[in-house]
Structure 1
Amino acid sequence: MQAIILSAGRGSRLLPLTETMPKCLVPVGGRAILDHQLGALAQAGITRAAVIAGYRFDQVREHLAAHQPPLSVELRFNPFWAVSSSIGSVWAARDLLDRPFCLLNGDTLLSSALLARGLSQGGAGVGLVVEPLGTPATDDMLVAVSGSRVTAVSKALDPARATHRSLGVVLAGEESGYRRALEQVIAQEGGVDAYHHDVVAMLARQGAVSALIEQSGSWQEIDRPADIQAWAGGTNR
């Protein structure tokens, strides 16, 4: 299982912190977001990770050299980070998508137990880790779940239809079809501006995405300065 961390963005909503450093290196509890993620992945049993960086790429490279990761890390550059959405970073890792992978956003802290549960539930296809939706937040990636299947994914999903929110963790097996769907989405008009969740949405419309339901609350998206304080050792919600 290969982990892929999408860490290319600047994180303008974390200004002024990201004026001088990439979002993935913002410290939370004394450790960079990226270090939290690599540690959790290693504890969950992942041995290899590809980190896709863009904004202030050299800082990420220097950080990884100075802080020995607990697993094997390959650093890749996304040259399109400033002109594309998160799908550009997935495109930079497209050669890794034909075998099992665990993809996660570079601004989200997750406990190792949460990741381990997701990995244990994953199958040959695509799984999306979601949690039941209470009151939707402004930036939630909304998800509609029916039974064990994801039927729709979108930030613009009608809240009346939404049942869950995505944690940004995509798990895929050997025969997921994710790479083929990625190529179709990015080739569409405006495809470079798509979120990587749009790939999941395409597969969901084909009935090909399992809902991996998580209710522990042991995760936190670090999107604004207040989110840094909200993270309390992985039990924030």
Structure 2
Amino acid sequence: MQPTAIILAAGMSSRLRPLTEDRPKCLLPVGPKAILDWQLEALQSVGVQDLIVVVGYRKEMIQEHIANHHPSFSVRYVENLAFDRTNTLFSLKEAMLVWDGDFYYMNADVVYDKRILQRLAPGLVGGFLAIDKKQCRDEEVKVIVRDGRISEIGKHLNPDICEGEFIGVAKFTGDFVRRFRQQVLDLAVAGNEMKFFEYALDAMADKSDMIPVDITGLPCVEIDFPEDYAFATEQVVRHLVDNEEESTHV
């Protein structure tokens, strides 16, 4: 079966204003390309041609950008009509209503080296999350690892006891997808509107094979705040461009 990716791109990204007043965050430029361009090229490197993109804020701009710059992808757009008052748990629910197979997952605000996806690509079954081992900030999605498995995940965890940051890129396969999908559908209800999708992962972490994939040292950043965007445009992009140039000369 052709690999599929789910990209969550519905949010308003109010923390980055005024940068996001006229465009969705995934279309912010990072070097010579938009964030979304870097992601789609990484997905192509692991054979992905089918996309499910959850849209909301300024959805037409995303649709036009993909149609104009990445016409080879087969894209299904799913709309989160409540994008201005819900979070990623509800956006992922919309995707889960139309998809129940294996998939790569990514937040649309992550700039990363394509080798990260390649590390997730081997044909194993379970949930595989890209983890950057470092001292985390309170705002970052953190993980606790026990016996080689992720036992807890979320922003609420104490940074001092965590293994590192989940960067918002993952791969879910096999029976894990069925259980995770049901967890998302069960939890995306009234009262949980502002929960992140990791809330569903945390709820099943103690009884699932959720594997941390170490991507430490590979360029990546999830862009939540202006300082993240500055880091992406001043630091991360240089490594991505250098790696791209090296690959074209191999």
Distance across 2 between alignment mates of 1:234 and 1:173: 33
Q: Deviations over 1:89-140 (max 9, x none)?
A: 10111145521111111100121111111122x6322222212122x22421
- Show CA shifts across 1:166-217 (max 9, x none): 0112311121111111122224x62222111111111212243112222133
- Given candidates 160, 178, 181, the residue that maps to 1:179 is 181
Higher helix residue share: 2
Task: Provide Cα deviations, 1:120-161, integer angstroms capped at 9, x if missing partner.
Answer: 2x6322222212122x22421011011320000110112232
Partner SS for 1:18:
coil
TM-score (norm 1): 0.90
1:47 to 2:49 alignment:
yes
So what's the TM-score if we normalise by structure 2? Answer: 0.86
* Structure 1 residues 152 and 63: CA distance shift in structure 2, 3 A: same
Amino acid at match of 2:145: V
Aligned to 1:155: 155
Whether the 8 Å CA contact 1:219–1:234 is kept in 2: the answer is no
Which of 61, 71, 78 is the equivalent residue of 1:59? Answer: 61
Which digits, 9 at most, give the CA deviation of each residue in 1:14-73, with x for residues without a partner?
111111111111111132211111111111222211111100112212222222345322
- Matching residue within 3, 12, 25 for 1:23: 25
Report % sequence identity: 29
Q: Does the 8 A contact of 1:38 with 1:70 survive in 2? A: no
CA contact (8 A) 1:25 1:34 kept: yes
Residue 28 of structure 1 aligns with an amino acid whose one-letter code is V
Give the counterpart of 2:96 among 94, 109, 121: 94
Counterparts of 1:31 and 1:233, CA distance in 2: 10
What does 1:107-122 align with in structure 2 at a 5 Å threshold? 107-120=109-122
Contact 1:38-1:69 at 8 Å conserved across structures? no
CA distance in structure 1 between the partners assigned to 2:93 and 2:146 by the alignment: 29
**Worse-superposed segment, 30-39 or 206-215:** 206-215
Q: Quick check: 1:233 aligned with 2:237?
A: yes
Write the letter of the residue equivalent to 1:149. R
Segments of 5+ residues of structure 1 without an aligned counterpart are: none
Cα distance in structure 2, aligned partners of 1:99 and 1:35: 24
| Residue 3 (structure 1) shift | 0.4
Per the alignment, residue 104 of structure 1 pairs with 106
User: Could you tell me which amino acid in structure 2 is paired with residue 156 of structure 1?
Assistant: H
Whole-angstrom CA distance in 1 between matches of 2:76 and 2:99: 15
Q: Which runs of no fewer than 5 residues in structure 2 stay unpaired?
A: 241-250
1:171–1:226 Cα change, 3 Å: same
Distance 1:67 1:45 in 2: 18
SS of the residue aligned with 1:19? coil
Alpha-carbon shift at residue 4 of structure 1 (Å): 0.5
Q: Is the 8 A contact 1:125 1:175 kept in 2?
A: yes
- 1:209 aligned partner, one-letter code: M
Q: In 2, are the aligned partners of 1:111 and 1:234 still within 8 Å (CA)?
A: no
